[in-house]
Amino acid sequence: MVERIIAAGQTVLLRDGYEKASTNRVAQEAGISPGSLYQYFPDKDSILNAVIDRYSDELSARLTKVLADRLDLPGPELVRATLEGLLEALAENVEFLRLVVEQLPRAQFGDKAAATEQRVSDLVSTYLVLQPSARVQDPAAAAWLLVRLVEHVTVQYVLERPAIAEHLFIDELTRIVTSYLGPTTRPR
């Protein structure tokens, strides 16, 4: 029943937008009474939190797997594989991504995104610590910057669909990230 309500919540959110989404509309979409819905979710935002949690968990699991499975690769190969995985994951549901970015209040639904960003930042930081050729002074700070740079540019690429071929986008963003990480001696 919970999964049915969450799926209905995502459908209503996509169809009607955040402002017009309501528990009554979600209940109707799920084919249940509002009273039945309230046994599982007390209000609209709790349903939307569950929808966002599911979406974030799916994205996070995919991206974490891509990173964790490839931490032993050289920098450019790791960056390329990560970008390909991220683009693939984001492109699966562009309209939902657009809704999350453009309509949902970050202050209300941003905890899950922040947790995902932190998990990915931790993996990137670990990678940087293990790479003696990385030219970063502070791996945690560099990871924070890189994760947010890649996230923002990639999300905008998926949403805006500029006249840039995907392989060229990946090549150029890989070049940007790897030039930042390129070999040099790390200050002591």
pLDDT at residue number 101: 87
- Give dist(CA 49, CA 178) in Å, integer: 36
Q: Where are the alpha helices (DSSP H) in 103-138?
A: 106-130
Which of the two residues, 31 and 70, has the higher pLDDT score?
31
CATH architecture group of domain 1-42: Orthogonal Bundle (1.10)
Mean pLDDT of 115-135: 80
pLDDT by residue (tens digit) across 58-103?
Answer: 888 888 888 778 878 887 888 899 899 999 999 998 999 998 888 8
Domain boundaries of the chain, sorted by first residue: 1-42, 52-181
Segment holding 157, helix H or strand E? helix 139-160
Residue with tokens 């970050």: 106
Q: Kindly tell me if the per-residue pLDDT of 30 is higher than 80.
A: yes
Residue 21: exposure state from Cβ atoms within 10 A (0-12, 13-18, ≥19)? buried
CA torsion angle for 93, 176, 82, 149 (degrees, to 10)? -50
CATH of 52-181, one of 1.10.357, 3.40.50, 1.10.1760, 1.20.120: 1.10.357
What pLDDT does residue 22 have?
A: 94
Structure tokens, 15: 């169809």
Per-residue model confidence (pLDDT) at position 132:
73
Q: What is the pLDDT of residue 12?
A: 96
**Looking at residue 106, what is its pLDDT?**
67
pLDDT of residue 16: 94
Name the band, by pLDDT with cuts 50, 70 and 90, for residue 188: very low
Give the per-residue pLDDT at 120: 80
